[in-house]
A = this chain, B = another copy of it.
């Protein structure tokens, strides 16, 4: 099984912590599933920390430092601030996998809005009081399906 890695030459605007974390992940040959289990978060949230998109708690930092053999003060320093979100994906996304998600928003955006407004009234689904997860299903023919769930406060 291949593991997700970070080629820093392709992502010059990610925080310094991303290089530290992905470097250690590659050295330790750990998947996000293993990392997530270890820090007690779901996989997407764990990966979001790696990409500088989520704030790591003091506890997360301690567990990550331990699991990944990164000196804790070093990791603390790199993760002590607040995430400067929005620097990983350039929009429109050129990466095909990410583009498919973008396309879903482009195509279904108003359909979601219409249904959500009728169900909840005027307002929005928060992207901040928000959690998301990825699951794998296999259908009767043995084909895998990816299931992404978005759950946000209204």
Question: A residues touching B (Cβ–Cβ < 8 Å)?
Answer: 1-7, 9-10, 12-17, 26, 31-33, 43-45, 47-48, 50-53, 55, 77-78, 80-89, 91-128, 130, 132, 134, 136-137, 143-154
Contacts and interface: CB of A to CB of B under 8 A. Distances in A.
Per assembly, the copies of the chain total: 10
A142 B23 CA distance: 42
Given A7-B84, A80-B26, A150-B104, A97 B125 contact: yes
A48 B125 contact: no
19 contacts: A5-B82, A6-B81, A9-B14, A10-B13, A47-B115, A50-B114, A53-B107, A53-B111, A55-B122, A85-B94, A86-B94, A86-B99, A91-B91, A91-B105, A97-B112, A97-B123, A101-B112, A112-B134, A125-B148
B80 A148 contact: no
Instruction: State the 4 A-B residue pairs at the shortest beta-carbon distance, nearest first.
Output: A86-B94, A5-B81, A4-B114, A47-B111
Contacts of A32: 114-115, 118
A113 B154 contact: no
